[in-house]
């Protein structure tokens, strides 16, 4: 069953039924001001940092799950009836409900008793504000007297404190209302230079800023007393819960439409221009007033919306494909790229499943996110790389995360994840391959943000690699530390106390537990660094890396191979994990995926064997599970992985993030059918038809899908913020379709299904547009290329020497 449909020509997903299995959300904003918006207008907004600069309040795990948001109410003054055109919060029986989630905007509309309403929500580029553009149309035969109410609840900035520190917070709330604009200025009197505002394009007949006056003390958003009464009360909040509500009266003749714009925004004043007059407590508004005035103007708002459209046309235009598979086209051309923007911006901080207070930007996660993002806005990828590297520790180690607002690393969710540093090499390498901007390697970057500690970025990469080599275990494999990619494989933790965090509980500084996964990551990252070193003219260094890689490769073969597949790890007692010998958790996906992705065992059949075992033991109709059999009980020596019930999360769910590693491994083996088959199994668009089972949004990937051992096999969870976005994008575009960036040119090496007759693609790469047409003339994936009609040797297309800006590439597969 479906709850909507893809409108590919408008690049929208149109939800036609408001009660989707879970709230289906979208993101507003893609630079500094962000919002989450659900298909029924739920959600919240923040500036840069979902924890430290939250503009509006949101209660997670609410009942119903998604309640509180950008709510508009309409009230018919004749019948006294009121309703929300977004269905929530009043949940009337609407006609023609639809929610169009588009690229950076959402439009929600419906009709009720002859009154049509539609609201467009978006964040203009380069502004710290959001626009709600409401259009109300009277489809009745008689004139209608309607009041439109728009409401938000302010958060007192620090979302964590806001949800806990009531003894203080119920006293601090302050607002100011001036010329129809509601200013939220809690704590502005002292250490904050920022405030929020909520404005309306039309003269209002009332406002409220005290939540209790608007809702009534014993009511909720579904039944606000002031809306019911048909008149807001002009309340001024003193402490308690400041909110913003506006009321506008409309008289609409039959067929007549009217438009109102509401603007919710964030503004920061220079410290010496906080107040006007200077020593008063009145906000100085000289900088913000023109911004507000600008966007309350319909034509300016319209222009900003057009600009947003063109922005996305440009971003998506960088890579477009035309394959025989509609789901592939849709995901690559629109939604997967779009999701990569969200993961780049949010890392794992703010979604419906990440509360915005727990996790900032992850070191490991953000580096991986670059794989799917770097081609879109390389300059921002560059900035991100430098920010991440600046949090790196002098040892080469890494904080696991940093807060986006302060850009400082912290140990809030642990440290000593021994895979972390290597991802920096992967991220930087992706950037270099995309841009050819070698200057980044010479950028001075500090360690642990300490001024004076700067070295060129290149040295950070050297230290990353060294970090692993300095931490090898008894088998010559990397020590795992707190955990590797699998945060839940906690081999040095031994937690037996309820409530302890597996991520932060003091770790034994173990010298035994080793990770085959990190070994594979080392081989991959090491060869990337070796290529970089070689091209930098550092031949000796490059050779040393190659020797170290060869040694690691040998250690994996000798101690990391279990006969039919790659082992996963050794625990603190030196016992194997992911082996025939284990009762549970005999085979894991991570080592099969990453070893083959890194090219280990490609030549001598190990890779093939490992992937055949993956297919045999781990692949299901809904995707590939993490391990088999799942852990049926808690193992002190394994940690959090065994804390999840079988089939969920790291304990044998389909962790969509790692499925692409297997796809890439298959592609490297030239098995395009298998690679694409795995791609299709977890493709959200393909899964749209089973939305009742899948439950999450059909236009973006979720982190996990319940595995075959779970009672809810096939049910997705944790949509949006997952490395799945970048890895799937990377796997399909660079390995299956095979349009791959390399340090010196664009490689064309598809590994596509046998039945495909071919495909077309356009790729902008380092200022040149490549128009690529691939045709099949045999069943294999051997390619012969012509560039503008002339055959070339090999599969790398170099930038045209004569400065041409467009190139036609034809590839014949045999």
Active site residues: 487
> Which stretch in 433-441, 458-466, 615-623, 649-657 sits in contact with ligand GLC by CB under 6 A?
649-657
| Selected binder of ligand GLC within 527, 722, 741, 781 (CB under 6 A) | 722
Rounded to a whole number of angstroms, the minimum distance from the CB of residue 653 to ligand GLC is: 10
Give every strand in the sheet of 409-415, ordered side by side. 361-362, 399-402, 409-415
32-71 core/surface letters (b: 16 or more CB in 10 A; e: else): bbbbbbbbbbbbbbbbbbbbbbbbbbbebeeeeebbbbbb
Residue 648 binding ligand GLC, by CB under 6 A = no
DSSP reduced 3-state for 620: strand
Rounded to a whole number of angstroms, the minimum distance from the CB of residue 644 to ligand GLC is: 7
Residue 365 binding ligand GLC, by CB under 6 A = yes
| Selected binder of ligand GLC within 364, 463, 586, 694 (CB under 6 A) | 364
Residue 701 binding ligand GLC, by CB under 6 A = no
Q: What is the largest CA-CA distance in the chain?
A: 85
| Selected binder of ligand GLC within 348, 463, 622, 776 (CB under 6 A) | 348
CB neighbour class for 573 (10 Å; exposed up to 12, middle 13-18, buried from 19):
exposed
Rounded to a whole number of angstroms, the minimum distance from the CB of residue 740 to ligand GLC is: 24
CB neighbour class for 704 (10 Å; exposed up to 12, middle 13-18, buried from 19):
buried
CA dist 60 → 64, 352, 399, 453, 577 (Å): 10, 8, 27, 41, 37
> Which stretch in 54-62, 74-82, 362-370, 777-785 sits in contact with ligand GLC by CB under 6 A?
362-370
Spatial CA neighbour of 86 closest among 55, 117, 114, 65: 117
Closest to ligand GLC by CB, 387 vs 487, is 487
Crossing angle (nearest 10°) for helices 457-469 and 516-535: 140
> Which stretch in 30-38, 169-177, 485-493, 694-702 sits in contact with ligand GLC by CB under 6 A?
485-493
> Which stretch in 253-261, 327-335, 480-488, 726-734 sits in contact with ligand GLC by CB under 6 A?
480-488
Closest to ligand GLC by CB, 57 vs 384, is 384
> Which stretch in 427-435, 452-460, 479-487, 515-523 sits in contact with ligand GLC by CB under 6 A?
479-487
Residue 372 binding ligand GLC, by CB under 6 A = no
Tell me how crowded residue 563 is: count the other CB atoms within 10 A of its CB.
9
Strands 12-15 and 95-101: antiparallel
Q: Which residues contact 387 (CB under 8 A, 6 or more apart)?
A: 402, 407
Tell me if the bond preceding 629 is cis, omega within 30° of 0: yes
> Which stretch in 21-29, 214-222, 486-494, 773-781 sits in contact with ligand GLC by CB under 6 A?
486-494
CA dist 183 → 77, 116, 216, 417, 532 (Å): 29, 30, 22, 44, 52
Residue 661 binding ligand GLC, by CB under 6 A = no
Rounded to a whole number of angstroms, the minimum distance from the CB of residue 158 to ligand GLC is: 21
Residue 353 binding ligand GLC, by CB under 6 A = no
Closest to ligand GLC by CB, 214 vs 631, is 631
Closest to ligand GLC by CB, 156 vs 726, is 726
Helix, strand counts (H, E) of the chain = 20, 43
Rounded to a whole number of angstroms, the minimum distance from the CB of residue 487 to ligand GLC is: 4
152-175 core/surface letters (b: 16 or more CB in 10 A; e: else): bbbbbbbbebbbeeeeebeebbbb
| Selected binder of ligand GLC within 486, 719, 733, 795 (CB under 6 A) | 486
Rounded to a whole number of angstroms, the minimum distance from the CB of residue 632 to ligand GLC is: 18
| Selected binder of ligand GLC within 158, 369, 572, 650 (CB under 6 A) | 650
Three-class DSSP labels, 500-544: CCCCCCCCCCCCCCEEHHHHHHHHHHHHHHHHHHHHCCCHHHHHH
| Selected binder of ligand GLC within 485, 701, 713, 720 (CB under 6 A) | 485
Closest to ligand GLC by CB, 237 vs 430, is 430
Residue 630 binding ligand GLC, by CB under 6 A = no
> Cα-atom radius of gyration of the chain, to the nearest Å?
28
Spatial CA neighbour of 34 closest among 110, 119, 127, 116: 127
| Selected binder of ligand GLC within 101, 433, 649, 695 (CB under 6 A) | 649
d(CA 454, CA 403): 21
Residue 640 binding ligand GLC, by CB under 6 A = yes
d(CA 254, CA 291): 35
Residue 51 binding ligand GLC, by CB under 6 A = no
Closest to ligand GLC by CB, 723 vs 758, is 723
Residue 12 CA to chain centroid, in angstroms?
Answer: 18
d(CA 110, CA 105): 17
Altogether, the residues listed in the chain come to a count of 814
Task: Please report which helix (H) or strand (E) contains residue 150, including its range.
Answer: strand 144-157
Residue 687 binding ligand GLC, by CB under 6 A = no
Tell me how crowded residue 800 is: count the other CB atoms within 10 A of its CB.
14
Residue 354 binding ligand GLC, by CB under 6 A = no
Residue 345 binding ligand GLC, by CB under 6 A = no
Rounded to a whole number of angstroms, the minimum distance from the CB of residue 704 to ligand GLC is: 8
x/- letters, 438..477, toward ligand GLC (CB under 6 A): ----------------------------------------
Closest residue to bound ligand GLC by CB:
487
Alpha helices in 574-697 (DSSP H): 589-597, 606-613, 659-668, 672-682, 691-694
d(CA 371, CA 86): 36
Rounded to a whole number of angstroms, the minimum distance from the CB of residue 351 to ligand GLC is: 11
Residue 482 binding ligand GLC, by CB under 6 A = no
Closest to ligand GLC by CB, 486 vs 492, is 486
d(CA 238, CA 209): 9
Q: List the beta bridge partners of residue 46.
A: 34, 54
Rounded to a whole number of angstroms, the minimum distance from the CB of residue 417 to ligand GLC is: 8
| Selected binder of ligand GLC within 362, 478, 646, 684 (CB under 6 A) | 362
Tell me if the bond preceding 211 is cis, omega within 30° of 0: no
Closest to ligand GLC by CB, 207 vs 353, is 353
Rounded to a whole number of angstroms, the minimum distance from the CB of residue 619 to ligand GLC is: 19
Rounded to a whole number of angstroms, the minimum distance from the CB of residue 212 to ligand GLC is: 37
For tokens 């005290």, the residue is 210
Closest to ligand GLC by CB, 514 vs 640, is 640
DSSP reduced 3-state for 739: strand
Residue 656 binding ligand GLC, by CB under 6 A = no
**Residues 234-273 close enough to bind ligand GLC by CB under 6 A:** none
DSSP reduced 3-state for 639: helix
d(CA 522, CA 419): 9
Rounded to a whole number of angstroms, the minimum distance from the CB of residue 659 to ligand GLC is: 13
Q: How many residues bind ligand GLC (CB under 6 A)?
A: 17
| Selected binder of ligand GLC within 99, 488, 663, 747 (CB under 6 A) | 488
> Which stretch in 7-15, 281-289, 483-491, 537-545 sits in contact with ligand GLC by CB under 6 A?
483-491
Closest to ligand GLC by CB, 486 vs 614, is 486
| Selected binder of ligand GLC within 263, 413, 542, 606 (CB under 6 A) | 413
> Which stretch in 104-112, 136-144, 222-230, 481-489 sits in contact with ligand GLC by CB under 6 A?
481-489
> Residues interacting with ligand GLC, by CB under 6 A?
348, 362, 364-365, 413, 485-488, 503, 640, 649-650, 657, 703, 722-723
């Amino acid at each position: 069953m479906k709850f909507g449909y893809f409108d590919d020509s408008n690049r929208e997903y149109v939800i036609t039924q408001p009660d989707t299995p879970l709230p289906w959300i979208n993101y507003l904003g893609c630079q500094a001001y962000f919002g989450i918006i659900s298909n029924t207008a739920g959600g919240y907004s923040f500036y840069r940092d979902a924890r430290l600069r939250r503009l509006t309040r949101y209660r997670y795990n609410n009942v119903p799950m998604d309640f509180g948001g950008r709510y508009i109410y309409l009230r018919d003054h004749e019948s006294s009836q009121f309703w929300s055109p977004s269905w929530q919060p009043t949940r009337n029986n609407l006609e023609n409900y639809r929610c169009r989630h588009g690229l950076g905007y959402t439009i929600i509309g419906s009709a009720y008793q002859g009154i049509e309403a539609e609201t467009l929500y978006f964040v203009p580029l380069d502004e710290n504000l959001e626009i709600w553009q409401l259009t109300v149309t009277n489809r009745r035969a008689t004139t209608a007297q309607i009041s439109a109410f728009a409401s938000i609840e302010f958060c007192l900035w620090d979302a964590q404190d806001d949800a806990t520190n009531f003894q203080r917070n119920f006293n601090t709330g302050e607002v100011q209302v001036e010329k129809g604009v509601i200013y939220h200025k809690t704590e502005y009197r002292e250490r904050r230079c920022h405030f929020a505002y909520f404005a309306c394009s039309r003269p209002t007949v009332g406002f409220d800023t005290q939540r209790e006056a608007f809702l009534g003390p014993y009511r909720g958003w579904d039944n606000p007393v002031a809306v019911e009464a048909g008149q807001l009360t002009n309340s001024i909040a003193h402490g308690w819960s400041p909110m913003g509500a506006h009321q506008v009266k409309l008289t609409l003749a039959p067929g007549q439409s009217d438009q109102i714009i509401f603007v919710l925004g964030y503004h920061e004043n220079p410290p010496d221009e906080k107040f006007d007059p200077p020593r008063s407590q009145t906000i100085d508004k000289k900088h913000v007033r023109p911004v507000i005035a600008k966007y309350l103007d319909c034509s300016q708002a319209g222009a900003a919306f057009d600009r947003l459209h063109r922005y996305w046309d440009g971003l998506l235009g960088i890579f477009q494909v035309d394959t025989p598979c509609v789901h592939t086209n849709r995901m690559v051309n629109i939604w997967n790229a779009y999701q990569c923007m969200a993961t780049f911006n949010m890392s794992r901080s703010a979604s419906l499943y990440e509360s915005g207070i727990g996790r900032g930007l992850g070191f490991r996660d953000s580096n991986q996110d670059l794989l799917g993002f770097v081609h879109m806005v390389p300059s921002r990828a560059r900035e991100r790389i430098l920010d991440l590297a600046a949090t790196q520790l002098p040892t080469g180690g890494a904080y696991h995360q940093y807060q986006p607002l302060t850009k400082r690393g912290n140990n809030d969710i642990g440290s000593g994840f021994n895979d972390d540093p290597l991802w920096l090499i992967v991220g930087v390498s992706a950037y270099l391959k995309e841009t050819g901007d070698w200057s980044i390697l010479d950028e001075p970057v500090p360690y642990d943000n300490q001024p004076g500690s700067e070295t060129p970025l290149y040295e950070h990469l050297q230290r990353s690699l060294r970090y692993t080599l300095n931490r090898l275990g008894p088998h010559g494999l990397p020590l795992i530390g707190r955990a590797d990619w699998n945060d839940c494989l906690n081999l040095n933790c031994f937690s037996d106390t309820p409530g302890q965090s597996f991520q932060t509980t003091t770790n034994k500084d173990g010298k035994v537990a080793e990770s085959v996964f990190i070994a594979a990551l080392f081989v991959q990252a090491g060869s990337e660094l070796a290529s970089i070193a070689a091209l930098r003219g550092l031949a000796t260094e490059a050779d040393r890396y190659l020797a170290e890689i060869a040694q690691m490769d040998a250690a994996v073969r000798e101690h990391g191979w279990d006969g039919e597949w790659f082992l996963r790890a050794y625990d603190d007692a030196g016992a194997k994990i992911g082996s025939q010998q284990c009762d549970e958790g005999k085979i894991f996906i991570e080592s099969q995926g990453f070893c083959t992705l890194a090219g280990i065992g490609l030549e001598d059949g190990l890779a093939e064997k490992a992937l055949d075992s993956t297919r045999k033991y781990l692949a299901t109709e809904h995707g590939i599970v993490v391990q088999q059999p799942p852990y049926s009980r808690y193992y002190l020596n394994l940690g959090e992985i065994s804390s999840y019930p079988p089939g969920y999360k790291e304990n044998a769910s389909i962790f969509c993030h790692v499925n692409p590693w297997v796809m890439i491994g298959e592609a490297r083996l030239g098995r395009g059918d298998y690679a694409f088959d795995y791609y299709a199994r977890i493709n959200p668009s393909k899964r749209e038809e089973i939305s009742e089972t899948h439950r999450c949004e059909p236009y973006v990937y979720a982190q996990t899908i319940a595995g075959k051992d779970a009672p809810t096999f096939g049910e997705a969870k944790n949509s949006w913020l997952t490395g799945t976005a970048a890895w799937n994008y990377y796997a399909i575009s660079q390995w299956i379709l095979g349009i791959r960036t390399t340090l010196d040119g664009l490689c064309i090496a598809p590994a596509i299904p046998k039945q495909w007759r071919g495909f077309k693609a356009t790729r902008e790469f380092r200022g040149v547009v490549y128009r690529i047409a691939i045709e099949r003339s045999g069943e294999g994936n051997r390619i012969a290329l012509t560039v503008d009609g002339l055959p070339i040797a090999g599969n790398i297309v170099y930038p045209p020497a004569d400065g041409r800006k467009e190139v036609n590439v034809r590839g014949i597969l045999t």
